[in-house]
Amino acid sequence: MRVLLTGMPVYSHLVPMLVPVAKALQAAGHEVAVATGQPPAAELARQGLDHRPLPRMLVGQEFRADPELAKAIGLSADGVPLPELNEMPPGAGFGRLFAGVGAARNAVDLLAVAEEFGPDLIVREGTELAGFLVAEQLGVRCVTLDSSPLAPVRHPGLLPALNQTRATLGMKALPHINELARDAWIGWLPSQWWAENLSSHQHFRAPAATGTLDPEIAALRSDRPLVLVTLGSNAAHMFTDSPLPPIVEALGQLDCTAVVALDRRWDGPSPGNVHLVPFVQQQLLLPACDLFITHAGYNGVREALAAGVPMVAMPLFAEAPANAQRLTELGLGVTVPADATPAGILLACEEVLGDPAFRYAAHGFQRRILGLPGMDELVSALVREAQR
């Protein structure tokens, strides 16, 4: 089977979910290629995956080379969302960003790649709409990796932008946004995480982390709770000032050992119980943690749930507020505002560490994840989709 995978050229969109699926298909003997922009080229090469570049699929500061495109989809020339994008009705801003003129350009480029590669199946991550459009043009099935379930990836508000793109490409308008789910959607959490129940949804367990933990972190004190703090790969790009200083200050007052992944050059406080690092092996370290402080991006939340770790969520952008609300509803942690004070953050940490109900709920959700089928079954499901 020949499988063409496609996703936006952002680490958090590609590496946590799309890359493991590509590697599992490859290990099973299928021919695989990943079509995306240029930034992930080195990572895809390191993973041993065939990268088919889409040179007009831009990200971040690459928009400086095409400011008209940036403006058309609601971004500054540095790739930061303009206020008008957030002021649009629900789903409409997301549609402009991911389903509008950029998706039309990406679809033209992806079609050329697909016609050369000849896929039996297209697999896309949920924010990448060109894969859906090209699969229809080629008459092959399109499986979606639900890499941001609580983002408005199926919101009716994105339909106008998507249909405008379809018109640009000479395709018929879709009558309903549910057409996006006419083929399978793959999720890496149990159904309880989703607010809606799609009949096309299938749930699988992500592969576990591999590798060896940094010896310095492995040797940290073990006579008190271990707290991990990461705010994702986009915080430095999205915010002029780091959200980390009040978190570090709060942890300095907490009886814990903390590991904090920095989002930029650090000139803030450095309490003795807080280990500041430029990078942390998040998925590998989480099972050894008692608390995870997170910006509530989906990948971090999902990895913490798989490790059975309760959370303090400080949602910063995108679908993070929805993720934070959901984990709070499920008793998996508490949420503090993005501008929380050190005192507020400290209080939230003490609440989660002090109440065993959060730990019990996290372990219960972890057991649901452990009950999901693994990667071998996911590959078999993709083969069945291609043969339908």
Q: What is the CATH classification number for the domain harbouring 289?
A: 3.40.50.2000
Please indicate, yes or no, whether residues 97 and 189 belong to a single structural domain of this protein.
yes
Please indicate, yes or no, whether residues 92 and 137 belong to a single structural domain of this protein.
yes
| Residues 6 or more apart in contact with residue 132 via CB below 8 angstroms | 124, 142, 144, 180
pTM of structure: 0.91
Please indicate, yes or no, whether residues 58 and 122 belong to a single structural domain of this protein.
yes
Please indicate, yes or no, whether residues 198 and 222 belong to a single structural domain of this protein.
no
Is 110 part of any domain? yes
Please indicate, yes or no, whether residues 188 and 139 belong to a single structural domain of this protein.
yes
The span from the CA of 29 to the CA of 382, in Å, is 13
* DSSP type of residue 60: G
What single string gives the DSSP state of each residue in 281-338?
A: -HHHHGGG-SEEEE---HHHHHHHHHHT--EEE---STTHHHHHHHHHHTTSEEE--T
Please indicate, yes or no, whether residues 128 and 9 belong to a single structural domain of this protein.
yes
Q: Which structure tokens are listed for 199?
A: 């009949």
Report pLDDT for 152: 87
Report pLDDT for 240: 57
Angle, CA 285 vertex, CA 283 and CA 286 arms, to 5°: 70
Q: What separation, in Å, do the N-terminal and C-terminal C-alpha atoms of the chain show?
A: 13
Please indicate, yes or no, whether residues 150 and 221 belong to a single structural domain of this protein.
no
Q: Which structure tokens are listed for 23?
A: 């590697």
Average pLDDT, the chain: 92
pLDDT classification of 233: cutoffs 50, 70, 90: low
Is 63 part of any domain? yes
Please indicate, yes or no, whether residues 193 and 134 belong to a single structural domain of this protein.
yes
pLDDT classification of 114: cutoffs 50, 70, 90: very high
| Residues 6 or more apart in contact with residue 162 via CB below 8 angstroms | 95, 99, 103, 129, 174, 177
Is 43 part of any domain? yes
Please indicate, yes or no, whether residues 347 and 380 belong to a single structural domain of this protein.
no
* DSSP type of residue 40: T
Please indicate, yes or no, whether residues 378 and 366 belong to a single structural domain of this protein.
no
Q: Lowest-pLDDT range, 101-110, 261-270, 317-326, 351-360? A: 261-270
Q: Which domain holds residue 154?
A: 2-205+373-387
Identify which of 8, 29, 30, 180 has the alpha carbon closest to the alpha carbon of residue 91. 180
The span from the CA of 55 to the CA of 351, in Å, is 48
Is 47 part of any domain? yes
pLDDT classification of 65: cutoffs 50, 70, 90: confident
Backbone angles phi, psi at 230, to 5 degrees: -140, 145
pLDDT classification of 108: cutoffs 50, 70, 90: very high
* DSSP type of residue 206: P
Report pLDDT for 223: 94
Report pLDDT for 238: 53
Q: Which residue has the higher pLDDT, 231 or 3?
A: 3
Is 190 part of any domain? yes
Is 246 part of any domain? yes
Report pLDDT for 127: 94
**Residue range 178-192: average pLDDT?**
92
Note the pLDDT tens digit of each residue in 132-171: 999 999 999 999 999 888 888 889 999 999 999 999 999 9
Please indicate, yes or no, whether residues 352 and 381 belong to a single structural domain of this protein.
no
Is 314 part of any domain? yes
Please indicate, yes or no, whether residues 362 and 297 belong to a single structural domain of this protein.
yes
Task: Map tokens 């793109």 to a residue.
Answer: 165
Is 210 part of any domain? no
Note the pLDDT tens digit of each residue in 276-320: 998 889 999 999 999 999 999 999 999 999 999 999 999 987 789
Report percent pLDDT > 70 for the chain: 97
| Residues 6 or more apart in contact with residue 299 via CB below 8 angstroms | 12, 16, 17, 147, 232
Q: Which structure tokens are listed for 320?
A: 């993070």
What domain count does the chain have? 2
